[in-house]
Structure 1
């Protein structure tokens, strides 16, 4: 396949050793309040790490990043963004980000999990273990779950009222009571834990691993209540729909899968396989409300496929289309409200908006500031009167961690198409053999010329 011969940007990381080996740099900018919407704005200058004489030198401020209009020529620019912090630390790559209770957590190659204050990202403290390479972090309330190099999960409690304090309360799986046979615990993953998800209603923690399995942990008694082989290759992301308990997984085998829990048996059954293109799927995001539910999947070819759940009481999702814009693999996705944030191997972050009541999407902005693949993203809502705002946290394989403030301005409803309909890369006859699409949806696409890709 073409993607197998395309040179990956990951291969270029070692070619820019000056940036990767830069000493510790912390750049903080104070965010000016936006008093008027008709101010003059200019484009942000790409961030470049600054040389410092000594590794332990004090933070070196960089020029304040201006508010920036979307660089895309949209009919009506409706989004402003601003990089309010850019951090560079000598602790290896950052693999995971989690946000809860005003604290941002980052996991990296080191044995320290850093805690930062929202929104300025001043460091509040850290959690330390003797196992590094924290590939996955999940925060829920004042509980933090971290996955480590030894294929175990640590569970922490933290408080922020009187300074930042943390305490490790348990490990999953628990240590065996048979000290002579410490390695016979079959509940433990056999490879890196790449992703985690939490189902609040039942108190269940889901973990996906490179060993191709998903394990389900009951947090209350720290027991593994289910374990099943979910894919034919590495599992890269996992989600849980809090409305109905459905579990979504994606893998390097090129598919996303939907699982339903059998409550009386504590087991899970496969309900659908979503496979539209033969490319590894790296990321998932779920946008769910009372009357709609969209699933987004990011692939190694740079596209973002999206699937819409049928309105009837079922677990069936229909393919709605795909978003094009990234030049290389989409490595991370976040969905909040009607916005989708995507981080890519092409070093950029794109912000997409879905038009209400339809499947049409528009790309509002391209955040260009990293010098390496954007490995992970996190975002949270920030309302200001009539302006909807977001705080977006991004980490790249250039070993930088950035914080963006995004404001979505009020605008008229405009219908935007999310792809070039002249694109003929997908043959319409493939829908007949795609197990995702219902017969009625297939007939609708075949009879309509608007779906000629």
Structure 2
């Protein structure tokens, strides 16, 4: 099993103990409180709750359209599109029940939807111009992609002792997908990272043996750097460059980030790609920042507060949302120009662990200066909730106090 899922009891020991050797981020650097300093707080309201239809339903995989107008919620039996402003469904279409649970969802800028499935395949969906409804466009790897590789023995890789598969095929569940600059990236419990052409033919361009255990998460920065997180506790960074022949681009390993001591379940990047967040079964969210002297990135500290495993992360601007097996969503924000973070609020309401999470900033249409977000969370019992989150800034007067570094 590649995720630290909640046990049947309420024992907090369901997660691996937190990282005692790594200080909480608030204690990494001094924190200054100036007179009339600005402090932020968050409030939330549940706008919609969609219950699971059956007791066997799994957590829905979630994604938000490029225009931030629609939420896509995908389960093993159906895919539902919600209007984020009204929090109401606008379309529901049948999924692929025989493919098993949907593990992840990604959207391309042109509106194509990609769903990652337990059967090791990826489905591409496109909205019909004529009917206005979504239909299945392709299943990856495509039949054409497999047929062109069948005759050559070199196209097969060993997946078990006496079993081989084409290298374009995932040998286990596809755990996460991400889309960037015309390319679709997928990671799987088969320990590989695959790169697909996101255009018309969906051809598999590359397969990378990425980890020693199941790969659980993938995130792609604006500069093309790909980050993968695994049950082996490692995060690896990959960049795409020309191979020696100079004719094809391949991904090569540029860094391995090791500070978690348990499975890495989730990754999220800041908008500029300078900060990477990783969530794991050790109950900690690690904050990684660019540091060339460290080779690529160095850990700046840990965000703590969840009582069980971190299962999902979503980052918008300077706000980070985290979902956990403890059934809560926490709201974190970076404080000013320094490296300090504050937990602004805890969202409660789910009765099972929060497995998927997406968030977007919205225009509230009001003249106040509050920042408003739509946060969508999916729990392990199949429930999806849409929340309105508002972050308010208030001024506090007081003496000039300097809190020095703590151990």
Normalised by the size of structure 2, how large is the TM-score? Answer: 0.78
Give a deviation string over 1:331-364, Cα, whole Å, max 9, x none: 0000110100000001110000001322100000
Q: Where does residue 388 of structure 2 map in the other structure?
A: 405
SS in 2 for 1:11: coil
Give yes or no for the alignment of 1:236 onto 2:199: no
Give yes or no for the alignment of 1:268 onto 2:251: yes
Q: What is the CA distance between 1:191 and its match in structure 2?
A: 0.2
Q: How many correspondences in the alignment?
A: 344
Q: 1:317 and 1:412, CA in 2 relative to 1: closer, same or farther beyond 3 A?
A: farther
Q: What is the CA distance between 1:406 and its match in structure 2?
A: 0.6
Give yes or no for the alignment of 1:122 onto 2:83: no
The question of whether the paired residues in 2 share the 8 Å contact of 1:303 and 1:324 is answered with: yes
CA distance in 1, matches of 2:197, 2:289: 30
2:103 to 135, 145, 151: 135
The question of whether the paired residues in 2 share the 8 Å contact of 1:226 and 1:266 is answered with: no
CA distance in 2, matches of 1:354, 1:413: 18
Give a deviation string over 1:302-325, Cα, whole Å, max 9, x none: 11110111389x971121000110
Q: What is the CA distance between 1:410 and its match in structure 2?
A: 2.9
SS in 2 for 1:94: coil
Q: What is the CA distance between 1:103 and its match in structure 2?
A: 2.2
The question of whether the paired residues in 2 share the 8 Å contact of 1:10 and 1:345 is answered with: no
SS in 2 for 1:411: strand
- Correspondence list, 1:248-263, <5 A: 248-263=227-242
SS in 2 for 1:222: coil
Q: Where does residue 28 of structure 1 map in the other structure?
A: none
SS in 1 for 2:405: helix
Range with bigger deviation, 386-395 or 264-273: 264-273
Where does structure 1 lack aligned partners over 5 or more consecutive residues?
1-6, 14-74, 415-420, 422-448
Q: Which is strand-richer, 1 or 2?
A: 2
Give a deviation string over 1:399-446, Cα, whole Å, max 9, x none: 2111100111133599xxxxxx9xxxxxxxxxxxxxxxxxxxxxxxxx
Of structures 1 and 2, the one with the larger relative CO (CA 8 A, separation 6+) is: 2
CA distance in 2, matches of 1:191, 1:381: 35
2:73 to 106, 114, 124: 106
SS in 2 for 1:288: coil
SS in 2 for 1:381: strand
Give yes or no for the alignment of 1:86 onto 2:43: no
Q: Where does residue 17 of structure 2 map in the other structure?
A: none
Where does structure 2 lack aligned partners over 5 or more consecutive residues?
11-37, 152-163, 398-402
Q: What is the CA distance between 1:8 and its match in structure 2?
A: 6.3
Normalised by the size of structure 1, how large is the TM-score? Answer: 0.70
Q: 1:361 and 1:163, CA in 2 relative to 1: closer, same or farther beyond 3 A?
A: farther
CA distance in 2, matches of 1:278, 1:297: 12
1:216 to 174, 185, 195: 195
Q: Where does residue 226 of structure 2 map in the other structure?
A: 247
Q: Where does residue 193 of structure 1 map in the other structure?
A: 174
Give yes or no for the alignment of 1:322 onto 2:302: yes
The question of whether the paired residues in 2 share the 8 Å contact of 1:153 and 1:173 is answered with: yes
2:362 to 382, 391, 399: 382
The question of whether the paired residues in 1 share the 8 Å contact of 2:308 and 2:325 is answered with: yes
Q: What is the CA distance between 1:166 and its match in structure 2?
A: 1.0
2:319 to 330, 339, 345: 339
Q: Where does residue 168 of structure 1 map in the other structure?
A: 136
Q: 1:207 and 1:353, CA in 2 relative to 1: closer, same or farther beyond 3 A?
A: same
Q: What is the CA distance between 1:267 and its match in structure 2?
A: 1.2
